[in-house]
Amino acid sequence: MALYRRVLLDRSPAWDTHVYSHQLAYACGVSAAQVRRDLMAIGYTGSPSTGYETECLLDSLGRFLDAPEPTPTAIAGVGQLGGALLSFLVNRHPKLGIVAAFDVNPSKTDRVLYGVRCYPMHRLHEIVDACRISVAVLAVPAKEAQAVCEKFVASGVRGILSFAPVFLRLPKHVAVERLDVTIALEKVAFLARSVSRSRRTFP
């Protein structure tokens, strides 16, 4: 659903008012039948003659994906990766605002970075509670990731997006999404070699 919304937000002028399932499917790399099933699951149907009304579809996707109120979000670790993520995510999504950053480096704390105040780690519980933060982005070194996650969870955070290259052991009620850039790159490199070998074997 999030991919459908992203594609629609970046849509071509031809989709300004209406879009067909086969057009959305092609842009997302899925089948038209899959698009129709997915959108029916959120209670939205189109017309065989005109397709889906683009703005109405975006509204339906928004109601399904987003909470009624903005979800305050924090980021831990504002080094090279965390700083890049922070600059990218600030004001990126109207319902997922980065309201606080945390770091152990004194040269970064008690400052405003990319429009967001950065706090020392020892103030994490205080700030999470005060800002009612429920989602956190993790961009800390692997050896610190588990401990930082546990601090967030103990403070009330229920969703973690982790860029740390380590498996996190957290309670089942906490949603965790792990993005390991190195593993993703290794996977692509492996698949690229496999395709290359296949072409050499079967010209």
- Mean pLDDT computed over 150-173: 93
Query: For residue 196, what pLDDT is reported?
Result: 63
In the numeric block, the tokens 């982005």 are attached to 137
67 band by pLDDT with thresholds 50, 70 and 90: confident
Average confidence score pLDDT of the chain: 89
86 & 170 share domain: yes
CATH number (domain holding residue 43): 1.10.10.10
57 & 82 share domain: no
106 & 41 share domain: no
107 & 58 share domain: no
Has residue 162 been placed in a domain? yes
177 & 82 share domain: yes
Has residue 200 been placed in a domain? no
55 & 86 share domain: no
Has residue 198 been placed in a domain? no
Q: Where among 44, 65, 86 does a domain terminate?
A: 65
Has residue 24 been placed in a domain? yes
HEC secondary structure over 121-156: HHHHHHHHHHHCCCEEEECCCHHHHHHHHHHHHHCC
83 & 162 share domain: yes
Has residue 188 been placed in a domain? no
84 & 176 share domain: yes
83 & 148 share domain: yes
Domain limits for position 148: 73-183
Q: Lowest-confidence range among 43-47, 152-156, 168-172, 197-201?
A: 197-201
pTM over 0.75: no
Number of domains into which the chain is organized:
2
29 & 106 share domain: no
CATH number (domain holding residue 149): 3.40.50.720
**Does 158 have pLDDT greater than 50?**
yes
44 & 107 share domain: no
Has residue 199 been placed in a domain? no
57 & 86 share domain: no
**Does 22 have pLDDT greater than 80?**
yes
Q: Where among 25, 49, 65 does a domain terminate?
A: 65
